[in-house]
Structure 1
Amino acid sequence: NAGLEVHPGERRLISSVALEAEDPDNSPQQLFYSLIAVPRFGKLQIKKESAWSELSAGQNFTQDDVEMNRLWYAHNAATNAAGFKGHDSFRFTLSDLDNETPAQSFFINVHTVQKGQLSPQW
């Protein structure tokens, strides 16, 4: 769980470099991330078959989804939203259907341009 860095309005892959779980007794398809809370300033998107859908609290995805590059975060470009402080997150538990971890947070750092700064060139 290394977190993610994005620019305002950017959509980025959440790869196994940023989020990875291993269990010697279970395959990646058998490791479930159950969402407790979704990001407030963006959305989690998952590709199932050929369609993208938005994940909400109570839904889950697997480590296989992460490893197969099917999980993305899309930041809402309106960074002046109430409560926005330059970061976002989602909360989850990890389960193999027999055991479950305590709740964890995945943090997303959103690079913001402060008043008086030059906009980055990318």
Structure 2
Amino acid sequence: MDIHLTAIHWVYLSFILAIIGLMAMRRDTSLICIVGIFAIGLLATGRVGPSVSAVFESFIFAIKELIGTILIISIIVAMSRILIRTGINETMIAPFARMLRTPALAYWGIGLIMLVTSCFSGLPLPWR
């Protein structure tokens, strides 16, 4: 079985390496991703119209796949900001603050607290 790499494969590999390089330099990768999709589309079809269409179709595909994750992350961030602004996070941690003196104790203490609360979160409560 022979595998033949075409120009599209090499362009894809070069853009992946460029994206990794930009990520290592802590730069934005959006533009290089769009240019890469356009270049691969141009090589695959040989025309500009379908290449531009491929860019927009990739946006639609990405949104369809990631919208649930984006929504959950945004809700969690909003809820945590509300806890910080109202000061409820300090009140929730106050009973455990004496136990969480060092970073190691805080790590294991919060882990155990989460374990215990998650064990009881699925139990049916008598008043429900």
**TM-score (norm. length: structure 2):** 0.23
Relative CO higher for 1 or 2, CA cutoff 8 Å, sep ≥ 6? Answer: 1
Q: Which protein has the larger Cα radius of gyration, Structure 1 or Structure 2?
A: 2
Flag the structure with higher helix content. Answer: 2
Flag the structure with higher strand content. Answer: 1
**TM-score (norm. length: structure 1):** 0.23
